[in-house]
């Protein structure tokens, strides 16, 4: 099965999700609906709603529409955190486009993020399922906690690997596990199957973020849609950096380079080059592969329907992608 | 009945709400729990949870704890919007204390607001009541919509009075009506009683914000805990300004003064003085009184328990308060 075949299994549902998100944005105060619309329709890959829709096929809910609302809620929450993250990171480019942050004032950007938060809340409330809503609220706490941890751990060069894992759990894996376990809860799946889907989402999300963090070193600005090494520039220590600085002389070298030129782009580009050419990239890749292997194992206990194969395809794609 | 007697009716419940909010903050990433704790315990009057607790006495829910969660959720949502508003307004003082905005970077402030959002979501999810959760999500949309409207209507000197009312609905009355109608929904009150409580909250919230906007002209900096005329400084046209500029020569005068010195404090102080001494204050006061009268009428159809008298006391206090 190809990735496109996997996606085509839920193509109609994905179209319904797009439509629902469009509707959620269109009832807003007029001068803004275009801007907010562009933001949510600016070319995300819709990986998360795709996971929700595929995971929802094992134990379909009483009303199919609730699954659509759930998938739309997850994408709206994702959009909301992207918007706020752009202010937090001071990012000027995302997906090759100017971020809202670069075009708007911080306050408008906060409001736009809050707007998608509010939409996510309404969409998830449409499931009328208290446990699903509780899972959603809990994930939101983990996500915000991750943002706080990231902000407070910047430039801490001696942090353990666990700090990185805690942070990317909040940054990415919490939403991935939400995307895969809430449809199971909505469909009243047996507990062990819900748990398998949750773990699948968690492991996949961890791998996804590690690959993202590798690409921040190995891909070029054009492919990334933003400058390489942007996390490093903000002092955020991702897995390739972590592995690189495990050798004391390397650590001294790059800490010196960065701390003595805290905002210097040429210096960051030089450090990016050092890390890109080191074994740290392969070490990080191995960890991503290990997470994907766990994700594939998680799927084994689930009913053998074609959507299970589709989820496996998505998981394999995550470690193989180069953008 | 005095305001203190009214408050004492729900004193134990208010203490339980404080405890629940404390717990919600204490499980956070350690370096932040003090800061976030200070923020939520920095001396709000707890008007909104008090309303929720009093309104919850007409039709008590199956589990009393759910009412406590709901009241805590409403205060957490209130705190969250205050924090984001401080970034949006660029306010440096609130309740006489430095705002988070003045102490922190915008990004930390966004995260702190998001943190209280997440806590509010978890607390309301604890009610396990889909309709209550839906009302919450809907109110959040109205609140964010109000922020957007406020930002986009600044310095529009010819806006109709309805624009002001739409904005303060989002800014204040949406949360007040949420505070009074959700306990009714939670207790499965008859529809007309839920609706009466909703309208009571709405009318009270409108009056509350008009009085706040009047105090921004009539109170001194020490009482306000922030400089007088701060909305006007940001170009926000509140009801006293609206009434003042209905006379064309007054409008020309202050628009000239403000537009030609957009950030000048002395000029704002002069305009504040002009408005304070005009009949615009009394005109705004009359509108606030009319809203409170409607709120008092809304209460009439509700069961005649002492909490009904307590709600009336709170309503009267709102228009009489001088801080």
Quick: pLDDT tens for B228-238.
788 888 788 99
Note whether A67 and A59 are within 8 A (CB). Answer: no
Give phi and psi for A97, each to the nearest 5. -115, 155
pLDDT on residue A302:
98
Name every residue whose Cβ is closer than 8 Å to that of residue B169 and which is 6 or more positions away in sequence.
Answer: B142, B146, B202, B205, B206
* Shortest Cα–Cα distance, A175 to chain B (Å): 14
- Beta carbons of B141 and A152 less than 8 Å apart: no
Q: Which residues on B lie below 8 Å from A143 (Cβ)?
A: 118
- Beta carbons of B126 and A134 less than 8 Å apart: yes
- Interface of A to B at Cβ within 8 Å reads 28-29, 31-32, 84, 87-90, 106-108, 110-111, 113-115, 117-119, 121-122, 124-126, 128-130, 133-134, 136-138, 140-141, 143-145, 147-149, 151-152
- Beta carbons of A133 and B125 less than 8 Å apart: yes
* Shortest Cα–Cα distance, B102 to chain A (Å): 14
For residue B129, give the chain A residue with the closest CA. A130
Q: B222: pLDDT confidence band, cut at 50, 70 and 90?
A: confident
pLDDT on residue B323:
57
- Beta carbons of A122 and B107 less than 8 Å apart: no
pLDDT on residue A94:
54
The residues spanned by each domain of chain A are 3-320
- Beta carbons of A149 and B29 less than 8 Å apart: yes
B274 pLDDT higher than 90: yes
Who among B84, B122, B140 is closest to A141 (CB)? B122
Query: Which long-range CB contacts under 8 A does B20-24 form with residues at least 24 apart?
Result: B20/B68, B20/B69, B20/B72, B20/B123, B21/B72, B21/B75, B21/B76, B21/B119, B24/B72, B24/B76, B24/B119, B24/B122, B24/B123
> What's the rounded mean pLDDT across residues A297-317?
97
CA–CA separation, B10 vs A130, rounded Å? Answer: 28
- Residue that has been written with the tokens 């469009």 in this structure: A22
Q: Residue B94 belongs to what H/E stretch?
A: strand B93-94
CA-CA-CA-CA dihedral for B188, B192, B195, B201, to nearest 10 = -90
Who among B88, B107, B145 is closest to A88 (CB)? B107
* Shortest Cα–Cα distance, A151 to chain B (Å): 8
pLDDT on residue B235:
83
pLDDT on residue B236:
87
pLDDT on residue B82:
85
- Among A86-95, B77-86, B250-259, name the one with the lowest average pLDDT: A86-95
> What's the rounded mean pLDDT across residues A78-93?
72
- Beta carbons of A130 and B134 less than 8 Å apart: no
A83 pLDDT higher than 90: no
Note whether B196 and B302 are within 8 A (CB). Answer: yes
For residue A87, give the chain B residue with the closest CA. B107
Which residue in B50, B101, B99 sits closest to B204, CA to CA?
A: B50
* Shortest Cα–Cα distance, A312 to chain B (Å): 32
Note whether B20 and B68 are within 8 A (CB). Answer: yes
B96 pLDDT higher than 80: no
> What's the rounded mean pLDDT across residues B46-67?
97
CA–CA separation, B133 vs B124, rounded Å? Answer: 6
B88 pLDDT higher than 80: no
Interface predicted TM-score of the whole assembly (ipTM), two decimals: 0.82
Note whether A292 and A211 are within 8 A (CB). Answer: no
For residue A24, give the chain B residue with the closest CA. B141
Structure tokens at B80: 């969250």
Among A40-54, B131-145, B277-291, name the most confident range. B277-291
Beta-bridge mates of residue B98: B93
CA–CA separation, B67 vs B183, rounded Å? Answer: 7
pLDDT on residue B40:
67
- Dump pLDDT digits (tens) for B162-180: 999 999 999 999 999 999 9
Q: Which residues on B lie below 8 Å from A148 (Cβ)?
A: 28-29, 32, 111, 115
> What's the rounded mean pLDDT across residues B30-59?
81
Q: Which residues on B lie below 8 Å from A149 (Cβ)?
A: 29
Q: B29 or A188: which carries more pLDDT confidence?
A: A188
For residue A91, give the chain B residue with the closest CA. B107
- Dump pLDDT digits (tens) for A219-237: 877 777 777 788 888 788 9
> What's the rounded mean pLDDT across residues A241-267?
85
pLDDT on residue A238:
95
Residue to substitute from A26, A123, A125, A186, interface B, most B β-carbons within 10 A: A125
- Among B27-31, B107-111, B302-306, name the one with the lowest average pLDDT: B27-31
Who among A107, A121, A133 is closest to B151 (CB)? A107
> What's the rounded mean pLDDT across residues B292-305?
98
> What's the rounded mean pLDDT across residues A2-6?
90
Q: Which residues on B lie below 8 Å from A125 (Cβ)?
A: 130, 133-134, 136-137
Q: How far is CA B147 from the centre of its chain?
A: 13
pLDDT on residue A228:
79
CA–CA separation, A291 vs A293, rounded Å? Answer: 5
CA–CA separation, A18 vs B35, rounded Å? Answer: 40
pLDDT on residue A144:
86
Query: Which long-range CB contacts under 8 A does B218-224 form with residues at least 24 apart?
Result: B218/B276, B218/B281, B219/B322, B219/B323, B222/B96, B223/B322, B223/B323, B224/B323
Which residue in B77, B80, B81, B53 sits closest to B67, CA to CA?
A: B53
pLDDT on residue A160:
94
Query: What is the share, in percent, of chain B residues with pLDDT greater than 70?
Result: 86
- Beta carbons of B114 and A147 less than 8 Å apart: yes
- The structure's pTM equals 0.87
A2 pLDDT higher than 70: yes
Q: A264: pLDDT confidence band, cut at 50, 70 and 90?
A: low
- Beta carbons of B141 and A122 less than 8 Å apart: yes
Q: Tell me which CATH homologous superfamily contains domain B3-320.
A: Farnesyl Diphosphate Synthase (1.10.600.10)
Beta-bridge mates of residue A98: A93
- Dump pLDDT digits (tens) for B126-165: 999 999 999 999 999 899 888 877 777 778 888 999 999 9
């Amino acid at each position: 099965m190809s990735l496109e075949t996997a996606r085509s299994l839920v193509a109609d549902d994905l179209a319904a999700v797009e439509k629902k998100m469009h509707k959620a944005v269109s009832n807003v105060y007029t001068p803004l609906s275009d801007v907010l619309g562009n933001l949510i329709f600016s070319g995300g890959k819709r990986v998360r709603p795709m996971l929700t829709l595929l995971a929802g096929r094992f134990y379909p809910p009483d009303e199919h529409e609730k699954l659509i609302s759930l998938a739309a809620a997850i994408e709206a929450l994702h959009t909301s955190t992207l918007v706020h993250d752009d202010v937090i990171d001071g990012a000027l480019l995302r997906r090759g486009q100017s971020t809202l942050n670069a075009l708007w004032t911080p306050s408008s950007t906060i409001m736009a993020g809050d707007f998608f938060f509010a939409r996510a809340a309404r969409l998830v409330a449409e499931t009328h399922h208290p446990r699903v809503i509780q899972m959603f609220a809990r994930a939101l706490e983990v996500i915000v906690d991750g943002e706080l941890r990231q902000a407070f751990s910047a430039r801490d060069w001696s942090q353990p690997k666990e700090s990185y894992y805690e942070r990317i759990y909040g940054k990415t894996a919490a939403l991935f596990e939400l995307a895969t376990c809430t449809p199971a809860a909505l469909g009243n799946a047996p507990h062990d199957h819900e748990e398998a889907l949750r773990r699948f989402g968690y492991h996949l999300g961890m791998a996804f973020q590690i690959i993202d963090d590798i690409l921040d070193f190995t891909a070029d600005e054009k492919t990334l849609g933003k400058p390489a090494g942007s996390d490093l520039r903000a002092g955020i220590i991702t897995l390739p950096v972590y592995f690189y600085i495990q050798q004391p002389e390397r650590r001294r070298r790059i800490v010196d380079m960065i701390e003595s030129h805290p905002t210097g782009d040429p210096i960051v580009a030089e450090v990016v080059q050092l890390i890109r050419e080191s074994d740290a990239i392969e070490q990080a890749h191995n960890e991503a592969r290990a997470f994907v292997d766990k994700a594939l194992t998680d799927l084994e206990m689930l009913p053998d329907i074609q959507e299970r194969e589709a989820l496996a395809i998505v998981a394999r794609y995550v470690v193989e992608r180069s953008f």
